[in-house]
Amino acid sequence: MKKTIYFFAVAALLAACSGPKGMVRIEPNGNTAEEDSVAYELIVFDAGFESWYMLQNAPARYRSQQYYEQWNRQYVSEWNNLATHPRRRSFFQPIMGYEPGVNYGFELNHKLFYYFQYVEQVLGIPILTNRPAGGIVAG
């Protein structure tokens, strides 16, 4: 009986620790000071990303918001496409909420772009065949 309880305890612990990787959600973060505008928040369910992102987040390497939006549209489209392939579903989950034409602001687009770089460079999971040129260090 003790072995059975131990087995279920270990299984529950593993299930709790192995949460879904590769999941990103974009959702409204409440109203800002202006009544008609909404701030958005990027939620990443990968514990290693935040520390990696802090090391990459250097204003000297910033690009324009349009640059990030252009790449994010391509990445989100391909990511969602990969999420529909049975062999890849274990990592890729559809990114909900990123819609072309919506102004998510610089910070969200920057962070989302860097999440895709993290997946490709740190986790070694290719998303796009034509990637942005240089500038991002994987360490």
Inter-residue contact 29 to 104 (CB < 8 Å): no
Residue 83 lies in a domain: yes
Domains in the chain: how many in total? 1
Identify the DSSP state of 25.
E
pLDDT in tens, 71-87: 999 999 998 888 887 77
> In this structure, is residue 128 part of a structural domain?
no
Classify residue 85 by its DSSP letter: S
At residue 48's C-alpha, the angle toward residues 87 and 108, to 5°, is: 90
For each successive 10 residues of the chain (139 residues), what is the average pLDDT? 42 40 61 59 88 85 91 92 76 78 91 93 90 62
What pLDDT is attached to residue 86? 72
HSE-up of residue 77 (Cα within 13 Å, Cβ side): 9
Q: Which of 48, 51, 31 is nearest to 40 (CA)?
A: 31
pTM for the whole thing?
0.71
> Which residues constitute the domain of residue 51?
2-122
The reported pLDDT for the residue numbered 49 is 93
